[in-house]
Structure 1
Amino acid sequence: MNATYSILIADDHPLFRNALLQSIQMAFTHTRLLEADSLHTLVRLLNQEEEIDLVLLDLKMPGTNGMSGLIQLRAEYPDLPIVVISASEESAIVSQVKHYGAFGFIPKSSDMKTLIAALRQVLEGAPYFPEEMLNNGHAFDDVSERIASLTPQQYKVLNMLSDGLLNKQIAHELHVSEATIKAHLTAIFRKLDVKNRTQAVILLQEHHS
């Protein structure tokens, strides 16, 4: 494969990140590799770089927990191919990753041959999900379904709520009015079937645990 690719590896474990980097370098000689150890660094690199062909994303690293990083990236960079590489290999996790818009899922337990074959497949434009790991028809519990019904902006508001921000602060961060935030909260409470901010935050934390 002679094409030049830019791949961004986002994982906070230096040993795994380095092993992945070396494996890709051996298999894809004309590949430019970038590294990020947090969601903040990942977003900064995405904003700096003109073109990234693929992001390899760990589900748990600073700035993200569970599906929150994937959902945020999908909302902000809708055309960016994202493949999750995770030690969480339960079928429900794989199905959620697919539902939230990832282009693939590679288990961290994969051997070199499987890893390289999966990367070749996604770089050639075909998604990769291990069939034996997909939980067909039973991917979500009720909480996940409700969280998934939120729009990207509503999800962002909910996460800021979870960080303890007030309506005024959220409005300032998102460059909208307080009235807009109140409207978002009303919609969030309705979709999550909760009555107040505290219940919404608890639900989100349960989803991420």
Structure 2
Amino acid sequence: MNQAKVAIADDHPLFRTALKQAVFDCMPDAEIKEASSFGDLLEVIAKSPELEIIFLDLHMPGNDGFTGLTQLQNNHSDLIVIMVSSDENPDIMQKAINFGAAAFIPKSVDLATIAQAINTVLNGETWLPANMPVNRDSELAQEHKKLAQQLAQLTPQQYTVLSLVADGQLNKQIAGILDIKENTVKKHVSAILLQLGVYNRTQAGLVYQQLMLAPPENDNIS
């Protein structure tokens, strides 16, 4: 993959620069796009359908925890997503992999380690820091993977409806936001409940909220 198409989505210019250097070390001819918010990233993807790899900041504007990761998997299942963050909680790192990320790169690592992570992903494997404690809770991991699969099987509009349900929006409000009929929203909600195996919108909202994380305290580079 000598001419990979890459997007770096992070709201800190200095870290984007560091990531670009690491990418060029692995793929000298890579074409790199940049985004400072999740909304900007979606615009980049829309304009560059040939993109192959996304570096996604865990806490960047517009991305709450793993909501961005699962949205990308729902809308663009062919993309390889690598999560990056200064949040080095082992459970969060493992959760990223469970939800389908190809790697989780802490921002504290050096360029050589970032390059190692990228090369591992390019070889078709997942990457986590070598010194990360291993989470033995395989049952929880399976739950996360099952949820990721369920969310990936929703249509893009159903995924959007689910996110709005989780935000507390009523069917009439969702219809107005998406410019669709209220009856269409009701059909989407019914399909979402069936896909997620839950009985009401409150339960569906709670399922979606499993993707969210509180931002790290005193985090200057998230």
* TM-score, L = length of structure 2: 0.74
1:182 to 2:181 alignment: no
Corresponding residue number in structure 1 for 2:98: 99
Distance apart, 1:120 and its partner CA = 1.6
Give aligned pairs, total: 206
Contact kept in structure 2, 1:71 and 1:152, CA below 8 Å: no
Aligned-residue CA RMSD (Å): 3.3
Query: RCO (CA 8 Å, sep 6+): is it higher in 1 or 2?
Result: 2
Distance apart, 1:8 and its partner CA = 0.7
Residues 1:134 and 1:9: Cα distance change in structure 2 (over 3 Å):
farther
1:167 to 2:171 alignment: yes
Between 1:24-33 and 1:111-120, the stretch displaced more is 24-33
Distance apart, 1:174 and its partner CA = 5.3
Distance apart, 1:91 and its partner CA = 2.4
Distance apart, 1:109 and its partner CA = 1.9
Distance apart, 1:145 and its partner CA = 8.5
* TM-score, L = length of structure 1: 0.78
Distance apart, 1:113 and its partner CA = 1.5
Structure-1 separation of matches of 2:123 and 2:135:
25
Residues 1:207 and 1:101: Cα distance change in structure 2 (over 3 Å):
closer
Structure-1 separation of matches of 2:99 and 2:60:
18
Residues 1:88 and 1:133: Cα distance change in structure 2 (over 3 Å):
farther
Matches within 5 A, 1:35-184: 35-130=34-129, 132-138=132-138, 140=140, 150=151, 152-153=154-155, 154-163=158-167, 165-171=169-175, 177-184=181-188
Structure-2 separation of matches of 1:133 and 1:10:
27
Structure-2 separation of matches of 1:207 and 1:31:
31
Distance apart, 1:64 and its partner CA = 1.1
Structure-1 separation of matches of 2:65 and 2:197:
18
Q: Deviations over 1:13-57 (max 9, x none)?
A: 122112222333345321211110111111111111141121111
**Consecutive unaligned residues in structure 1, runs of 5 or more:** none
Q: Deviations over 1:122-158 (max 9, x none)?
A: 22333323463542325749x9689655554554323
Alignment identity in percent? 35
